[in-house]
Structure 1
Amino acid sequence: MSPSLPPVAPEVFASAVESLTTRLRGRLDAAVEALAGTPVITGDGTVRVRCGEDARVTLTPGPSGTVTDPGQAHCTCLLAPRCLHLAAVLGACPVADASAADDATPADGPADRARPVGRDRPTEPDRGPGGARGPDRTPGSDRTPGSDRMPGPHRTAGTDPRTDPDPDRPAADGSRAAPGRPGAGTEALAGSGRRSVHVPSADRIRAASGLWTAAAAVLSAGTAGAGAVLQAELLRAAHTARLTGLHRAEAAALDVVRHLRDERDPHRPRALTVLADALRELLLVTHRLRAADPDPELIGAVRRHHRPDGPLRLYGVCREPVVGPDGLGGVVTHLVDDDGHGYTLPDVKPGGPARARRAGTAHVAVRSFLSDHFRVSRGGLVVTGAVVAPDGRLLPEPGVRAAFAAGRPWTPPDPAGAGHIGSLTVRDVEVAATDGEDLLVRVLPGRGDGPVRLAPAHRHPFLAHTANLRRLGEHPGLRIRVVGRLDPDRATTLRPLAVAPVPGTGATLWLPDDWQGRADLGYDHLRDDHFPPDLPRPFEPVPTAATADDPPLWRVRRLVELAVVGGRRAAAEPSRDNDRHGHAAALRRSGFVTGAELAVTLGAVAAHRARDAFGRLAADDQDRYPAQWLATAVYLAGAEAALRRKFWRG
């Protein structure tokens, strides 16, 4: 594979797009797409891309491996530096992290450096709840539909209310954000007595307003219309936010651009759900900041690598196969520390599903330490000089030392049925029946909420998830402890990664001693001798598949995501057919009255475009549509979190 293009600072790409003429801007998207698969030549610290017969773009990254200055990008054509070739190559490069301009840190490993032109960023394994950031909001039943005021407390960054059954708990994704740098403008101190609030400065309010406007333009255009020019405007606004110290807003904007590029790239998996969540986060944060909300968590912090003060004692949890785009495959070993923070040890390289199957027992190296993923997942590590990425990845930086240590059993759920291991969810369940490849189970202790689903985390035939769930489904009444990730799109579905016996009952798994009390569903194969010979039949009748279906809240999600894909024009379509498909009626019948009203109002607002006396779109109209979409998306996130608490928590 050709070496990767280097990451580019947002302001460098934005400046290149701003220097183009209107005619060249209209050709920019096609120029970026034409570069897909173009060979990249590297040497002497430079990266060269040939863009036709008479044009060659040369990038010279700085010590951090990132292009952080316009002077580090050159083109040989006569129009340079205001040329289409330069802007297209910079647009094909991945977007640098917020801290790239401050930290002289090399890029993240060889997998990041081996990608052809047109692949926007390195593929990371599924990060679960910590990977997609979004606000934690309670359902908006106390809010009038269409209101632009978003009530509710702000969540801790790193917790996703769509997958976290308890969004009020502290973040447990292993992230360690360093304190942010002081903002460019001083904050006015208001209040008296014991409580004081920091009102955002005028510079920060202006920066937040600029980000809101750029994000609203992306939302109105949809993924098909949000090409390189709109991305550049959003990146320019993100850079302005960075200069004023709005770290959380800047990070959200960079996430939107990355997920938007993923969604537009036909060679990458769909990223619609995470894109919608990233847009919700960005619009919510900027909406509150431009309204001078004094909440200090809206400012955020620069996401940097974390170095613990002392040795890091970690315990293995399980192994998860990874099958990524561009032929990547491998394994991620999940670990947890004494405080419940999750960490990951990834091993993802080119090789596809075949490598993902082999990697479960492959060697794992942390500097001089050498072991294998099976042994680490069953045991543990003591890491000194550890370097941890914001998403919890253990990085093999110089000075890191690791030693093997004993493991420990999974943390059991509390008496109400709730439990967490890092960012993963732990539940005790009883097998009820099968539904195709899915397994219907009852969460213990029984609460009469009906069955929920266990769906294969990966359905590829090279991996063992589907076969193991089929084996478990052959034993109704079996009780198992499950570690998995809640499905972001279905409230009643858990995607299990590993299972273990439930202590104190005979109706559970009998696992070999060398498995040390757990089975990784992607790698270990359950056999007949792993099950008790005589299982008591469950007292309750076997449920039908229909009883485990999700409530109709998916209808709101479909409208929210339709607006992200098709833009304002697509969001207006449901209002024109007078609810022909019965979405609003179904929501009202199921008790989601607020969701129905928000969905209807969103369609009506999208369809109505107010104009001034000169026929131009009115300023309040440009704000009303994104505010209404945001109100609907915030309600959806809160309602989905409430449903997950109902189904997965006592």
Structure 2
Amino acid sequence: MSLDLPPVAPSVTAALVQGLTPRLRKRLDAGITKLADRPCVRDGDTVRIAVDDDTHLELHAPGGSVTSADAIRCGCLLAPDCLHRAAAASAAPIAEAEAEVDSGSETDAGPEADSRSETKTGPKPGPKAGSETGPETGPDAQPEPEPEPVPGSSSGSDTGAGSPPRSAPVPAAESETVTPGQRTAALAMYAATAAVLEAGTDGAGAVLQAELLRAAHTARIGGLPRVAASAVSVVTQLRAARSADPAYRLTDLTAALRDVLMTAHRLPDATGAELADLRGTARQPYVPDGSLRLYGLFSEPVLTATGYAGAVTWTADADGRLCTVSDVAPGGSGRAVGAAGRAVRVGDTALTHRELSRAGLAVSGATVSPTGRLGAGAGVRAVRAAGAAWSEAPLDRLWRVPVAEQVSRALTGTGGDGLLFLDVTLTGTVREAAGDCLLADCDGLTLRLAAAHDHPALPYRDNLRLLATAPGIRLRVVARLDPSPVPRALLVAAEHPGDARSHVDLGLDRLQHADLPAPATDSTGPAAGSSPVLLDEAPLHVLRRRVHQAASAGRRVLAFPGDSAADSRRLSRNGFACAGDLLDELHAAAADRSRDVFGRLVPADLGRFARAWLAAAHYTEEVDRSLCAAAWGAS
């Protein structure tokens, strides 16, 4: 999409699309495509689009986003019920809801997911992007400040990565059982998501997206911010897929769809603590934490598919507790690269993110969120202090924790956003579907270190290629766990190859050949570029591929005549009898089309197909987590 449009609230988009006649709804996707080619001019808070020589469309965003349908005006004869207003709203980014407010006066502006998504400089272990109301990073998802998504991401991402709405906080005194309104909202969300799953990315146009946004708005005002955030993440991923956005990842869409369906499925019958978790929280509270002495660890860029960018700096206190300082706002890759040079927003310190990652911070009157974000309220004071090298106390204690224990903590989501602190020896490279990744030895365990983000403006891949030319060097690294059947992690920072007292933020700094030590002439390790023998992996990809195909192409791709018995038998032979049954049910649900008394096909049972797909998606996720734990030797 070439238009530079302000973000539009989900409820506005849903209302404008619903107001169209059936004939105009059929033309909405074509209208969006035509609108993208029209001249667009921004004048302060107003964006003006020339629909034709005599007609102009205006979007008014006095607060940075369009929050009411009246703020989109068109001069054509069919206005206000014209196609142009709905097309503009559907083409614009999805607006974040009210920003989270610290216990002081600071407001953190930023995206979703991440879930776990995300999208997110990398995928978030444990629940995927969009699965939590407050994922910190994500996939393509990368770490993401409040308001939170939903990996990447992972990426982001981004990571993420949609963001949970903030304008309707959940009432302080919640019932122990779901309310009738919340049950209705959950059922509507399930139905809207099932329709998107049935259609796939190609069929889920602006109309189905608007229905999902309407369900998200209903869920938000009903006190269900978690599922509302995940639904917005699904719409964001659908738009990225349909516009051929290079940041789009099918795994992120699958994770977001799975989280929406799972949450909406469980909500009507949940009670107590489970219900509170499924509802999520509209705001994360900042609580006083006294005085803190923090040591900079590293900084990483944030670049999400939802249009947010910036940087997050990780710090640790003397006890090894991790805290983050973030600066994320609407923007692109330029902001992600430049944010590291901006001053951190804590107290009156003039430290930039890049400087803080190598220095320290003394904070008084500190406020910290449950996810470890430092507040920046009026009562917070902060001054620069001495930092510490990774090999010095107190930071070295992070690397002394056994790797298996770190992986267990990452898989259970008990803190650290999936970060792993590892001592590795580089041994070569191995080719994967997404490109080459580093091979490294970690206490006898062969692991793969991949780039945390693929965007060409970020130097992750260039730095990994350079490190691959120096096998045999031993480094301390910080990576984010990437659950898979083989030990794999996303590399975010590394000890400087030529200076053990310094480190390199691999998403912000660029290594040079002069930074690498001279190659050892007696090295016996594998040469860079070697491809070791790959381990035999469980054939779970047979089921996972069908899950991804359905998310991408819809129900019909699995309804074609064919015999899934061979794949089911293969899964059963390898100890995955349950996976074989799930595969059979998925194909049967996709092909289930009955006829009425006149022999006409009746509409497909979307509920059955959604349940079969959700069971298969949930099963593959849990098996992946178990295989990941086994590969790392974690409990």
Q: Under TM normalisation by the shorter chain, which class is it?
A: 0.7 to 0.9
Mark the CA change 1:625 to 1:349 in structure 2 (over 3 Å): closer, same or farther. Answer: closer
TM-score normalised over the length of structure 1: 0.74
Q: Which letter maps to 1:79? A: L
Q: CA deviation at 1:101?
A: 12
Query: What does 1:158-173 align with in structure 2 at a 5 Å threshold?
Result: 158=135
Q: Which letter maps to 1:279? A: L
Please tell me whether the aligned partners of residues 216 and 228 of structure 2 are also in contact (alpha carbons under 8 angstroms): yes
Please tell me whether the aligned partners of residues 161 and 641 of structure 1 are also in contact (alpha carbons under 8 angstroms): no
Structure 1 partner of 2:154: none
Structure 2 partner of 1:250: 228
Query: What does 1:134-153 align with in structure 2 at a 5 Å threshold?
Result: 134=128
Q: CA deviation at 1:73?
A: 2.3
Q: Which letter maps to 1:340? A: L
Structure 1 partner of 2:419: 424
Q: In structure 2, how many angstroms separate the alpha carbons of the residues matched to 1:350 and 1:11?
A: 25
SS at match of 2:361: strand
Mark the CA change 1:179 to 1:390 in structure 2 (over 3 Å): closer, same or farther. Answer: farther
Q: CA deviation at 1:160?
A: 9.5
Q: In structure 1, how many angstroms separate the alpha carbons of the residues matched to 2:67 and 2:469?
A: 55
Q: In structure 2, how many angstroms separate the alpha carbons of the residues matched to 1:178 and 1:313?
A: 31
Matched, 1:375 2:359: no
The structure whose RCO (Cα within 8 Å, separation 6+) is larger is 1
Please tell me whether the aligned partners of residues 100 and 283 of structure 2 are also in contact (alpha carbons under 8 angstroms): no
Please tell me whether the aligned partners of residues 165 and 228 of structure 2 are also in contact (alpha carbons under 8 angstroms): no
Q: CA deviation at 1:259?
A: 1.5
Mark the CA change 1:609 to 1:85 in structure 2 (over 3 Å): closer, same or farther. Answer: same
Structure 1's unaligned 5+ residue stretches are 113-122, 137-153, 165-170, 188-197, 501-508
Structure 2 partner of 1:596: 580
Please tell me whether the aligned partners of residues 124 and 138 of structure 2 are also in contact (alpha carbons under 8 angstroms): no
Structure 1 partner of 2:120: 126
SS at match of 1:33: helix
SS at match of 2:214: helix
Mark the CA change 1:222 to 1:60 in structure 2 (over 3 Å): closer, same or farther. Answer: same
Please tell me whether the aligned partners of residues 13 and 91 of structure 1 are also in contact (alpha carbons under 8 angstroms): yes
| CA deviations over 1:271-319 (Å, ceiling 9, x no partner) | 3211111111110111112345552211111156958665665432224
Mark the CA change 1:518 to 1:72 in structure 2 (over 3 Å): closer, same or farther. Answer: closer
Structure 2 partner of 1:181: 169
Please tell me whether the aligned partners of residues 123 and 137 of structure 2 are also in contact (alpha carbons under 8 angstroms): yes
SS at match of 1:435: strand
Mark the CA change 1:45 to 1:584 in structure 2 (over 3 Å): closer, same or farther. Answer: same
Query: What does 1:261-280 align with in structure 2 at a 5 Å threshold?
Result: 261-280=239-258
Mark the CA change 1:129 to 1:463 in structure 2 (over 3 Å): closer, same or farther. Answer: closer
Q: CA deviation at 1:413?
A: 4.5
Q: In structure 1, how many angstroms separate the alpha carbons of the residues matched to 2:139 and 2:59?
A: 40
SS at match of 2:605: helix
Q: CA deviation at 1:350?
A: 5.8
Please tell me whether the aligned partners of residues 185 and 204 of structure 1 are also in contact (alpha carbons under 8 angstroms): no
Q: CA deviation at 1:364?
A: 4.5
Q: Which letter maps to 1:376? A: L
Q: In structure 2, how many angstroms separate the alpha carbons of the residues matched to 1:131 and 1:12?
A: 34
Q: In structure 2, how many angstroms separate the alpha carbons of the residues matched to 1:406 and 1:177?
A: 39
Q: CA deviation at 1:3?
A: 8.6
Q: Which letter maps to 1:481? A: R
Which of the numbers 610, 622, 631 marks the counterpart of 1:638?
622
Which of the numbers 537, 542, 553 marks the counterpart of 1:566?
553
Q: In structure 2, how many angstroms separate the alpha carbons of the residues matched to 1:432 and 1:272?
A: 31
Please tell me whether the aligned partners of residues 595 and 602 of structure 2 are also in contact (alpha carbons under 8 angstroms): yes
Matched, 1:216 2:194: yes
Structure 2 partner of 1:80: 79
Which of the numbers 471, 474, 490 marks the counterpart of 1:495?
490
Q: In structure 2, how many angstroms separate the alpha carbons of the residues matched to 1:132 and 1:54?
A: 54
Please tell me whether the aligned partners of residues 16 and 86 of structure 2 are also in contact (alpha carbons under 8 angstroms): yes
Structure 1 partner of 2:413: none
Please tell me whether the aligned partners of residues 482 and 490 of structure 2 are also in contact (alpha carbons under 8 angstroms): yes
Please tell me whether the aligned partners of residues 308 and 386 of structure 1 are also in contact (alpha carbons under 8 angstroms): yes
Q: Percent identity between the aligned chains? A: 36
Mark the CA change 1:214 to 1:21 in structure 2 (over 3 Å): closer, same or farther. Answer: same
Q: CA deviation at 1:182?
A: 4.2
Mark the CA change 1:536 to 1:313 in structure 2 (over 3 Å): closer, same or farther. Answer: same
- How much is the aligned-residue C-alpha RMSD, in angstroms? 4.9
Structure 2's unaligned 5+ residue stretches are 142-149, 152-158, 411-415
Q: CA deviation at 1:625?
A: 0.4
Q: CA deviation at 1:244?
A: 1.8
Structure 2 partner of 1:577: 562
Please tell me whether the aligned partners of residues 321 and 332 of structure 1 are also in contact (alpha carbons under 8 angstroms): yes
Mark the CA change 1:288 to 1:222 in structure 2 (over 3 Å): closer, same or farther. Answer: same
| CA deviations over 1:534-561 (Å, ceiling 9, x no partner) | 989689xx99623356543333322111
Q: CA deviation at 1:84?
A: 0.4
Matched, 1:340 2:322: yes
Q: CA deviation at 1:87?
A: 0.7
Q: In structure 2, how many angstroms separate the alpha carbons of the residues matched to 1:558 and 1:369?
A: 50
Structure 2 partner of 1:415: 402
SS at match of 2:554: helix
Q: Which letter maps to 2:321? A: D
Structure 1 window deviating more from structure 2 (611-620 vs 28-37): it is 611-620
Q: In structure 2, how many angstroms separate the alpha carbons of the residues matched to 1:618 and 1:461?
A: 50
Q: In structure 1, how many angstroms separate the alpha carbons of the residues matched to 2:106 and 2:77?
A: 34
TM-score normalised over the length of structure 2: 0.75
Mark the CA change 1:606 to 1:376 in structure 2 (over 3 Å): closer, same or farther. Answer: same
